[in-house]
C-alpha cells in the first residue's frame, strides 16, 4: 500500500460478533493498516451472545476513514432507527473510499438511504427485504457495486474482508492473510444455505426467526417511509 489505510468498524448493542470479528481479523493483518472499533460511547458494547467488545473511539471523535464497515445482528433492528448512528454512516459514506457491510448490516445502510439503485446482498433470511430501500438483491457471498461492498451472512464476512483486502493491498497480500488464518472451509454439513439445507432444517430456522423477521418488516417499512419524507434533506 502506498499510504496507511484506516478502517472503521461500527459497534452497536446485540451485534453478531462474528460479523465484526471475522473481518476485523483480516483487516488488522493488512500491513500498515489501522482498524478502529467505533461506537457512540467508549463503554463496552455487548454482542448478542454476551461477548463484550471495547470501542477504540466514539463516533463523534472518529478520524477520517478509508473504509467503513457496518456488521449485522439482532441489534440491527434498533440501529435502523438510531438517528445518531444513521447520520454518522450517511455522512461518512460520502467520504470513504469503500462503504461496506456484512450480513444484516446492509439494512442499516439501507435505512441511511445508501442502497438506492445499488446491487447488494445480506443474510439470506432478509435478502428479499432489500428492495424496500431501492436496492437490487443479489445472491453470493460478496457483492460489489462501485465503491459499495456487501457481504452475505455471518461467515461470509471473512470472504468479504479478503475481497476488500485484495482491493486495498493486492491479491498477494490478501492470499497471505488467508493462509495465515488458515481459511480453508470444509464444513461437516452441506447446510450453510437455504438452497442446500434439508427442508426440515430450513423450516425450523425460519420458524425460530419468524418474530425477528416480522419486527424487521415493520421497522424497514418505517425506515423506508422516512427516507421518502426526508429525501430532499438527504440529497441536499
Residues known to be catalytic: 103
Between the alpha carbon of residue 19 and those of residues 64, 144, 199, 224, the distances in Å are 23, 18, 26, 24
Chain centre to alpha carbon of residue 3? 25
Query: Could you identify the residue written with the cell 439501507?
Result: 110
Please choose, from the candidates 233, 12, 226, 225, the residue with its C-alpha nearest in 3D space to the C-alpha of residue 101. 12
Judge contact between 39 and 58, C-beta under 8 A.
yes
Amino acid at each position: 500500500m502506498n499510504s496507511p489505510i484506516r478502517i472503521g468498524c461500527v459497534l452497536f448493542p446485540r451485534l453478531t460478533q462474528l460479523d465484526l470479528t471475522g473481518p476485523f481479523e483480516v483487516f488488522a493483518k493488512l500491513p500498515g493498516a489501522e482498524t478502529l472499533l467505533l461506537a457512540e460511547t467508549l463503554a463496552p458494547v455487548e454482542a448478542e451472545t454476551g461477548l463484550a467488545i471495547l470501542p477504540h473511539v466514539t463516533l463523534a471523535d472518529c478520524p477520517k476513514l478509508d473504509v467503513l464497515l457496518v456488521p449485522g445482528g439482532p441489534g440491527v433492528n434498533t440501529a435502523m432507527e438510531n438517528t445518531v448512528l444513521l447520520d454518522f454512516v450517511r455522512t461518512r459514506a460520502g467520504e470513504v473510499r469503500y462503504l461496506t457491510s456484512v450480513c444484516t448490516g446492509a439494512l442499516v445502510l439501507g435505512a441511511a438511504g445508501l442502497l438506492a439503485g445499488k446491487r447488494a446482498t445480506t443474510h439470506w433470511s432478509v435478502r428479499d427485504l432489500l428492495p424496500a430501500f431501492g436496492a437490487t438483491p443479489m445472491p453470493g457471498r460478496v457483492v460489489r457495486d462501485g465503491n459499495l461492498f456487501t457481504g452475505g451472512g455471518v461467515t461470509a464476512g471473512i470472504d468479504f474482508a479478503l475481497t476488500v483486502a485484495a482491493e486495498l493491498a493486492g491479491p498477494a497480500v490478501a492470499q497471505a492473510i488467508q493462509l495465515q488464518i488458515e481459511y480453508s472451509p470444509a464444513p461437516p454439513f452441506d447446510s450453510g444455505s437455504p438452497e442446500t439445507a434439508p427442508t426440515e432444517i430450513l423450516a425450523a430456522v425460519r420458524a425460530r426467526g419468524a418474530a425477528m423477521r416480522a419486527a424487521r418488516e415493520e421497522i424497514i417499512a418505517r425506515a423506508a417511509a422516512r427516507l421518502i419524507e426526508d429525501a430532499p434533506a438527504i440529497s441536499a
